[in-house]
Amino acid sequence: MDDDAEIIAEFLVESHENLDQLDRDLVELEQQPDSRERLSSIFRTIHTIKGTSGFLAFNRLEQLTHVGETLLSRLRDGEVVMTPPIAEGLLSMVDTVRALLDGIERTGRDTDPAVDVAPVVAVIEGLLAADSVTEEPDVSPAAPAATEPAPPVAPEPEPAPVAVEPEPVAVEPAPTPEPAPEPAPTPAPTADEPWDGVERRVAVDASVRVDVDLLDDLVDLVGELVLTRNQLLQRSLGSADAELVRASQRLDLVASELQESIMKTRMQPIGQVWSKMPRVVRDLSHQLGREVELVMEGHETELDRSLLEAVKDPLTHLVRNSLDHGIEPPDVRRAAGKDPKGTLTLRAYHESGQVVVEIADDGKGIDPATIGAVAVERGVVTRDQLARMDGRDVLGLIFRPGFSTAAAVSNISGRGVGMDVVRTNIERIGGSVDVASEPGRGTTTRVRIPLTLAIIPALVVGEGGERYAIPQANLVELVRIEGDDLRRQVEDLAGAPVLRLRGKLLPLVSLAETLGGTAAADEALTVVVLQSDDVRFGLCVSEVHDTQEIVVKPIGRQLKALTMYAGATIMGDGRVALILDVAGIAGTIGVAATQQEAADGRAVATDDRTALLVLEVADGRRAALPLAAVARLEEFGRDRVERSGTSEVVQYRDGILPLVRLASAIGLPDTSDQGEQISVVVHETSTAGGAVGIVIDKVLDVVEVTVSSSEVGRRTGVTGSAIVQDRVTDLVDLEAVVARSGVPA
């Protein structure tokens, strides 16, 4: 009996996978009815399910798939053509097969009274009769097809089960009799009955099915191992025992590799979620009277399986929302000068340690005025509150509970339950969702979710004697400001502190004040620059410890209401550290508004101005580069400088960075080798992967000035000069400087 249960379980897993593919194939076949490859693939899938269900005595499932196979056979042979009723009949058959499989999974039998196959069988038989099919060929496993043209399905013995995945077949089989192309379950091979192909045995041996609960247990165990590793590493740092230090370092290496491998076992492509989208779009567009083309990009993007399950329903709702509220009916689109067929695009990609999923449509977009009017009418906000909102805040109202713009309640929308649940479910897994829209042009909903929730890299900072972890996915850079720079670069804007960083105003937030304390006065400022969606701000902290991989633990219900915390972790010394929620901090203190004010202020202040990086190049001489051309500022030890031919280079970011001495390039004596370190401005060129390091003495400042260039001082590498901060400053000709490095500009 246990063997039978294992066989049925294997059959269910393979059949559900095949049905997901079948949904996609049938939708594509409806759009390309002359695709023989697609027809053959669908026929093989149904034939495999029918053969195995007959062996396992699932009679109703066999009856349903047999009549569906007959219709598919006629389609494949060209005796009937694909029409909307036939497509509906085949899709109904797939839905009923799926319902029967669910019943088998619950009871072990296909006798679930809630699933009635008779109406679907009658519909398909009616379709066959309507197309004047008077005699159905018997293509069951018991007899060969008598009149079936190439490619034939050869007679095959009654199948018995073995867990073998069907091999993908991309082209039509040759028109000569051969064994059936699908690997219907067959008896295990005996000594005198070999396998039907070495490749199949290799494919099966190369993969195994593992229970998800077992993977979850492994992830938990690896998490505990990482915690133990962190504790041992901390203890061994101050140890004089060389063997202990060596063993802990080895443990660190092995634990990291084990962690990476275990996490990979849980990573799955987001295409598994998208596999149902073509069917959802097809059914809903027919129901709403829309013409929609679905485009899916980045289906191979991977993320943790638990997150994949968590985003399945929110993404489905967003797709339905785009079809119902976004894409207009064909006549409306035609009147607006658009293509009658709308386009819905699903796009997934990795960015900053996160997975970004975009759902974009080219529909009517969202009118903030309409949203505001409905929000006031339904009591979501008052008129005074609406008057103080900007466009972004108004769009955010669609995520409020009870909000809906639908004129009437339907089985698709209008109940005011949906977008608020979408945001709640996404934020529950550490993600975020925001909407950008242009009336008349379309709407893009962008969902950001972490790759995994179990183990993440984080920056550990200190404040008030406690330690806090900041997810590295939100970390942009660290900035230390002291002395005169502190007074010059930190300003006050509308009562809020901002930092002028490389020509941009960055809102500052004190971690101590955010936690309810008081920021200590200091002669230096440590700023952690953070990014949450399109909001960037600086978090002022007392201490920066180090970066390490932390195991995320859920926080207790007592702290659930505090939006500043995303979880907790156990540090190497056994103490608990809270994990900061960057998006929650930004929302709590209103950074978005501060940033908008800073941007507005900067827009006024910087009209007709250019941001320049002011440098010292030789003996107090000054030069300036356009700030937009500066990618990064780096420092290298002089011992890292090597030579390749006549050029100086350093190894940088898994590549080779050519160096050019700015002083020499503009005709000045080079004094950049006077210290143990060399300062380098990294400039990225337009060529793929091209970059050059410009060696300078030191960076003096970043300024925004109205450049009034003079021809005085014009020479190779210098376009002229200007007065910057009351000093004559050479304006560097970057093209000429880059040419000295040999890197194409």
Q: What is the pLDDT of residues 322-358, one digit of tens each?
A: 888 888 899 999 898 889 999 999 998 877 667 888 9
Domain identity same for 428 and 547? no
CATH of the domain at 276: 3.30.565.10
Nearest 5°: the CA angle 128, 134, 135 is 100
At residue 66, the pLDDT reads 87
The amino acid sitting at 126 is: G
Per-residue H/E/C for 592-659: HHHHHHHHHHHHHHCCCCEEEEEEEEECCEEEEEEHHHCCEEEEEEHHHCEEECCEEEEEECCEEEEE
At residue 585, the pLDDT reads 81
Task: Determine how β-strand 535-541 pairs with β-strand 504-510.
Answer: parallel
At residue 744, the pLDDT reads 60
Does the structure show a pLDDT above 80 at 155? no
What is the total count of domains within the chain?
5
At residue 311, the pLDDT reads 84
Q: Are 299 and 277 in contact (CB under 8 A)?
A: no
Greatest Cα pair distance, the chain, in angstroms, is 99
Phi and psi at residue 269, in whole multiples of 5°? Answer: -70, 145
* Stretch among 162-171, 493-502, 520-529, 531-540 having the lowest mean pLDDT: 162-171
Quickly state the pLDDT bin for 734 (edges 50, 70, 90): confident
Question: Which residues share a beta bridge with 726?
Answer: none
Burial label for 266, CB within 10 Å (0-12, 13-18, 19+), is buried
Residue 685 resides in a domain: yes
- Tell me which residue range forms the domain holding 573: 456-605
Task: Determine how β-strand 647-652 pairs with β-strand 698-705.
Answer: unpaired
Q: Angle, to 10 degrees, between the axis of helix 305-321 and the axis of helix 212-237?
A: 120
The amino acid sitting at 720 is: G
Quickly state the pLDDT bin for 534 (edges 50, 70, 90): low
Residue 520 resides in a domain: yes
Q: Give CA–CA dist 635/371, Å, rounded.
A: 51
3-state secondary structure of 459: strand
At residue 743, the pLDDT reads 62
Q: Are 19 and 94 in contact (CB under 8 A)?
A: yes
Structure token digits, residue 84: 């909307």
Q: What is the pLDDT of residues 597-608, one digit of tens each?
A: 444 444 333 345
Q: Which residue has the higher pLDDT, 616 or 196?
A: 616
Q: What is the pLDDT of residues 87-103, one digit of tens each?
A: 888 888 888 888 888 88
Structure token digits, residue 128: 């066959």
3-state secondary structure of 490: strand
At residue 310, the pLDDT reads 81
CA distances (Å), 287 to each of 291, 391, 412, 415, 561, in order? 11, 32, 10, 18, 41
Model confidence, pTM: 0.50
Q: What is the pLDDT of residues 27-56, one digit of tens each?
A: 888 788 778 788 888 888 888 888 777 777
Domain identity same for 576 and 660? no
Element containing residue 198 per DSSP (H, E): helix 198-205
Residue 204 resides in a domain: no
CATH of the domain at 675: 2.40.50.180
Q: Are 564 and 581 in contact (CB under 8 A)?
A: yes
Structure token digits, residue 276: 């149902």
Residue 168 resides in a domain: yes
Domain identity same for 151 and 223? no
Does the structure show a pLDDT above 70 at 567? yes
Q: Give CA–CA dist 124/576, Å, rounded.
A: 63
At residue 344, the pLDDT reads 92
Quickly count: other Cβ atoms within 10 Å of residue 67's Cβ: 23
Domain identity same for 365 and 260? no
Residue 585 resides in a domain: yes
Quickly state the pLDDT bin for 301 (edges 50, 70, 90): confident
Residue of 434, 649, 660, 668 whose CA lies nearest to 532: 434
Residue 195 resides in a domain: no
Nearest 5°: the CA angle 667, 619, 502 is 90
Average pLDDT on 97-118 reads 80
Domain identity same for 66 and 109? yes
Residue of 279, 294, 275 whose CA lies nearest to 92: 279
Quickly state the pLDDT bin for 502 (edges 50, 70, 90): confident
At residue 557, the pLDDT reads 62
Residue of 407, 320, 325, 408 whose CA lies nearest to 364: 325
> How does DSSP assign 679-705, residue by residue?
EEEEEE-SSTT-EEEEEESEEEEEEEE
Per-residue H/E/C for 558-569: HHCCCCCEEEEE
The answer for residues whose C-beta is within 8 angstroms of residue 191's C-beta and 6 or more apart is: none
Q: What is the pLDDT of residues 382-416, one digit of tens each?
A: 887 777 777 777 888 888 776 766 554 444 554 44
Does the structure show a pLDDT above 70 at 154? no
Residue 377 resides in a domain: yes
Residue 502 resides in a domain: yes
Quick one: CA torsion of 326, 327, 331, 332, rounded to 10 degrees?
30
Q: What is the CA radius of gyration of the chain?
A: 33
Burial label for 551, CB within 10 Å (0-12, 13-18, 19+), is buried
Q: Of 231, 253, 269, which residue sits at a domain end?
A: 269
Structure token digits, residue 307: 């997150």
Average pLDDT on 566-573 reads 77
Q: Give CA–CA dist 227/549, Å, rounded.
A: 9
Q: Are 633 and 651 in contact (CB under 8 A)?
A: no
Q: Are 105 and 12 in contact (CB under 8 A)?
A: yes
Residue of 474, 472, 471, 527 whose CA lies nearest to 501: 527
Give the helix, strand, coil percentages of the chain, each rounded to 5. Answer: 40, 25, 35
Q: What is the pLDDT of residues 425-459, one digit of tens each?
A: 887 777 778 888 888 888 999 888 876 666 778 88
Average pLDDT score, the chain:
75
Domain identity same for 305 and 359? yes
Structure token digits, residue 658: 């050519």
Domain identity same for 278 and 235? no
Q: Are 81 and 29 in contact (CB under 8 A)?
A: no
Q: Are 676 and 638 in contact (CB under 8 A)?
A: yes
| Percent of the chain clearing pLDDT 90 (strictly above) | 2
Domain identity same for 401 and 523? no
Domain identity same for 162 and 123? yes
Q: Which residue has the higher pLDDT, 193 or 653?
A: 653
Q: Of 422, 450, 478, which residue sits at a domain end?
A: 450
* Bond prior to 151 in cis (omega within 30° of 0): yes
Q: Which residue has the higher pLDDT, 575 or 362?
A: 362
Q: What is the pLDDT of residues 459-477, one digit of tens each?
A: 899 888 888 998 887 788 8
At residue 300, the pLDDT reads 83
Domain identity same for 435 and 563? no
The answer for residues whose C-beta is within 8 angstroms of residue 396's C-beta and 6 or more apart is: 434, 435
Positive or negative, the CA dihedral 461, 466, 471, 474 is negative
Domain identity same for 280 and 428? yes
At residue 182, the pLDDT reads 43
Q: Of 450, 465, 495, which residue sits at a domain end?
A: 450
Domain identity same for 138 and 249? no
Q: Give CA–CA dist 431/348, Å, rounded.
A: 14
Positive or negative, the CA dihedral 231, 234, 238, 244 is positive
CATH of the domain at 12: 1.20.120.160
